[in-house]
Amino acid sequence: MAIAKCSNCEEPFERLFKFCPNCGLSVLGEGFTDKAGVAVRDLFEIAKTFSAVLDLELLLQKISATAEKLTQAEASSVMLLDDNKEYLYFKTAGGEKGSVVKTIKIPVRHGIAGWVAKNAKPLLIQDVSKDPRFSAALADEKSGFKTRSIVCVPMIFQDEPIGVMEVLNKKVNAPGGRFTDDDLDILQSLAGFAAVSIMNSRLTQDQKNFFANTMEILGAAIETISQNSAGHCWRVAQTSCTIARRLKITGLQYKNLYYAALLHDIGFIGIPKNQPNLHPAIGADMVSTVRLLSGASPLIRAHQELWDGSGYPSGLKQDSIPLGARIISFVENIENLRDSIKKENPKTTEKEIRVKLEHYASENIDILFDPQVVAAYLVEVSPSMGTPA
Ligand SMILES: [Fe+2]
Ligand SMILES: [Fe+2]
């Protein structure tokens, strides 16, 4: 049963809200000023773009600039605690002296920002010269900015302070001329947004690192089991990617190729030693259930196919082999040849190897290998191996 209605969008509500949850603009009670309405609208605006802005730096700059605007401050900044929670360093710094301020590191045992970070409590100080915690030597003397008043709030994530957000000096022509509790509230809401976005970005980074490390470990395991030479997987991945760039492969297709090239021989982990021809299909099945790797699966399945249909497991021909698999297949063969040349005569120089590989590639162009892949190799990869003597 609706008991109230938004005066702006006319959305009915079952209880009273401070601000309309539908449009964020309306003021549905007594005593809420126009400024509060604008503040809420800006917060809604940030929340809307929140998931769209993937660049953390940009998002924090936006949040900081909004804080500056809404509180009518001369400057603003976001500072983060370092891993040991001993120093605060500037992540964003608005206002005229922003670029200078960004180079400054502040020990948490000093200053107002340090106090806020350490105690996880906000501060609103109208005249910093009267506050014993204020230390001009920390930022003002280096930046040339003169702080008069400050609102500084902690950014907290899961009960732990991760940094602070502050606005400095109420603008001289601002109504009232002083920071208020409203300003403090606004800054706290924004600091909440900032904290979540910082932690999201850290989580994404951690996941990326975890993924990269896992791939590295898998690569090493594959090499041990498949009895490939050390670094085989990485060389296949590197050369495949160089060829792919030459062929203007980009985006997801490029990523899939990179993962497939790195893990192309993963199937060796799951097969009996006397049946190596099973490794492409087994490998493809192994990765197909991992969402990030599912696009690499068809490339792994076809990485032993050959242009003329003489490969395995399906005897696919020419364009029926995915392009990424054609690249890996070619590079796999080139790398295997390199290994056997070295095995036969460990004294063969890199230049001599290059000539032999080029010869092999050219001999099998349009027979075992896709001509465009071989051409990209001869133009892009082979010359970087040095000029033959
Ligand atoms: Fe293979
Ligand atoms: Fe291989």
Q: What is the pLDDT of residue 329?
A: 97
Q: What percent of the chain has pLDDT over 90?
A: 45
Has residue 47 got a pLDDT over 60?
yes
3-class DSSP state of 282 = helix
pLDDT of residue 35: 54
Q: Which ligand is nearest to the CA of 280?
A: 1
From ligand 1's centre to the CA of 267, what distance in Å? 8
> What residue type is assigned to position 48 of the chain?
K
Residue bearing the bigger pLDDT, 26 or 142: 142
pLDDT in tens, 26-35: 544 444 445 5
pLDDT for residue 216: 80
Where does residue 238 rank: exposed (0-12), middle (13-18), buried (19+ CB within 10 A)?
Answer: middle
Sign of the dihedral defined by the CA atoms of residues 79, 136, 102, 64, in that order: positive
> Cα of 352 to ligand 2 centre, how many Å?
22
Which listed ligand is nearest to 300 at the C-alpha? 1
Domain limits, the chain:
55-203, 227-385
Going from the Cα of 282 to the center of ligand 1, the distance in angstroms, rounded, reads 11
Average pLDDT over residues 114-137: 89
Cα 70 to averaged position of ligand 1 atoms, centre (Å): 60
pLDDT at 239: 95
Ligand showing the shortest atom-to-Cα distance for residue 337: 2
CATH assignment, 55-203: 3.30.450.40
Sign of CA dihedral 132, 129, 173, 97: negative
CA distance 120 to 156: 8
**If you measure from the C-alpha of residue 102 to the centroid of ligand 2, how many angstroms do you get, rounded to a whole number?**
48
Q: Which ligand is nearest to the CA of 301?
A: 1
Q: pLDDT tens for residues 82-104?
A: 989 999 988 877 666 666 666 77
Give me ligand 2 centre to Cα 206, in Å. 29
Q: Can you tell me the distance from the alpha carbon of 133 to that of 113, in angstroms, rounded to the nearest whole number?
A: 9
pLDDT band for position 3 (50/70/90)?
A: low
- Ligand 2 geometric centre to CA of 224 (Å): 12
The secondary element (H helix, E strand) that includes residue 203 is helix 181-226
Question: CA 385, CA 266: separation in Å to the nearest integer?
Answer: 28
Q: How far is the CA of 301 from the centre of ligand 1 (A)?
A: 9
Which CATH fold topology does 227-385 show? Hypothetical protein af1432 (1.10.3210)
What pLDDT sits at residue 31?
Answer: 41
362 C-alpha to center of ligand 2: Å?
A: 21
Cα 297 to middle of ligand 2, angstroms: 15
Place of tokens 């297949």: 329
Q: What is the DSSP letter of 378?
A: I
Amino acid at 238: Q
CB 76 within 8 A of CB 168: yes
* Ligand 1 centroid – CA 274 distance (Å): 14
Measured in Å, residue 276 CA sits from the centre of ligand 1 at: 8
H-helix or E-strand spanning residue 5? strand 4-5
Q: Which two tokens stand for residue 96?
A: 């005229």
Calculate how far, in angstroms, residue 237's C-alpha sits from the geometric centre of ligand 2.
10
Q: Do 227-385 and 55-203 have the same topology in CATH?
A: no
pTM across the whole model: 0.63
